[in-house]
Amino acid sequence: GAVVSQHPSWVICKSGTSVKIECRSLDFQATTMFWYRQFPKQSLMLMATSNEGSKATYEQGVEKDKFLINHASLTLSTLTVTSAHPEDSSFYICSAHPRGLRVHNEQFFGPGTRLTVL
Amino acid sequence: AQTVTQSQPEMSVQEAETVTLSCTYDTSENNYYLFWYKQPPSRQMILVIRQEAYKQQNATENRFSVNFQKAAKSFSLKISDSQLGDTAMYFCASQIQGAQKLVFGQGTRLTINP
């Protein structure tokens, strides 16, 4: 149980195009999902917190107009990288916090999406 | 603000040995959680062990145990009888009670040699 999927697992796009990454909780409902970015050999950096039915909360320094987040349902959050540039190339990971779960505040992570912008 | 520091970028031990990964953190909160996550080459984040700050007893999960020193704000991970499958990046993380946001340390790359 508590499986989170991401699609696509990897994507290559041209500079200037937009890319959408989906994060789905497969067997639970998630009121909150998180989007992280991880550069090679570095740690996970939280980009934004996605709450179902409301606007996402972005971390300082993250451009909300560039990284559009939509959490339209309790099982799906999407991250759209708009007008992608080579410096946006990275590994993007989502995590989900199950609805109603209070024990240990556990989050479940997706397998990540590798984005390469040419 | 929360901060988590892992001062060992890389570690390497022989199979079956015991290894300890260090982590220190800083928070002004009294109630919080601490975690160790494993990220193998597949990049999938896997929860290894968690500790509630209000519990004095150190958490254990099979071969994995922690040494939680609240006053020193230290949270080290001990891996006993290390196995080749333990080779991975290990991240220490903290979370304030009532908030869901995780703050990660820089990570330690652990290699278990045969």
Residues in a beta bridge with A88:
none
Closest residue by Cα to residue A76 from A28, A12, A10: A28
**DSSP structural state of residue A78:** E
DSSP-assigned letters across all residues of A7-50: E-SEEEE-TT--EEEEEEESSS-EEEEEEEEE-TTS-EEEEEEE
Three-state SS for A74?
A: coil
Closest residue by Cα to residue B77 from B33, B41, B108, B44: B108
Question: Would the CB atoms of A111 and B33 count as touching at under 8 Å?
Answer: no
Which pLDDT band holds residue A1 (cuts at 50, 70, 90)?
A: low
Instruction: Report whether pLDDT(A104) > 60.
Output: no
- A46 close to B101: Cβ distance less than 8 angstroms: yes
Contacts of residue A63, defined as CB under 8 A and 6 or more positions apart, other chains included, come to: none
Instruction: Report whether pLDDT(A101) > 90.
Output: no
The pLDDT tens digits of the residues spanning A11-55 come to 999 999 999 999 999 988 888 899 999 998 899 999 999 988 888
Exposure of B84 in the CB half-sphere (CA atoms within 13 A): 2
Task: State the pLDDT at residue B98.
Answer: 76
Task: State the pLDDT at residue B10.
Answer: 97
Give A-chain residues touching B43 at CB under 8 angstroms. Answer: 38, 91, 93, 111-112
Question: Would the CB atoms of A109 and B91 count as touching at under 8 Å?
Answer: no
Give A-chain residues touching B61 at CB under 8 angstroms. Answer: none
Query: B95 vs chain A: nearest CA distance in angstroms?
Result: 8
Q: Which 52-111 residues of chain A touch chain B by CB within 8 A?
A: 91, 93, 95, 97, 104-107, 109, 111
Give me chain A's average pLDDT, please.
91
Instruction: Quote the CA–CA distance of A3 and A111 in Å, as a whole number.
Output: 10
Task: State the pLDDT at residue B37.
Answer: 97
The pLDDT tens digits of the residues spanning B55-83 come to 989 999 999 999 999 999 999 999 999 99
| CA separation, residue B50 to residues A91, B53, B66, B67, B113 (Å) | 25, 10, 9, 11, 26
State residue A94 phi and psi, 5-degree precision: -110, 155
Question: Would the CB atoms of B104 and A43 count as touching at under 8 Å?
Answer: yes
Residues of chain B with pLDDT under 70: none
Residues in a beta bridge with A111:
none
Query: Chain A to chain B, count of Cβ pairs less than 8 Å apart?
Result: 48
Cis peptide before A8 (omega within 30 of 0): yes
Closest residue by Cα to residue A30 from A79, A95, A97: A97
Number of other CB atoms surrounding residue A73 within 10 Å = 13
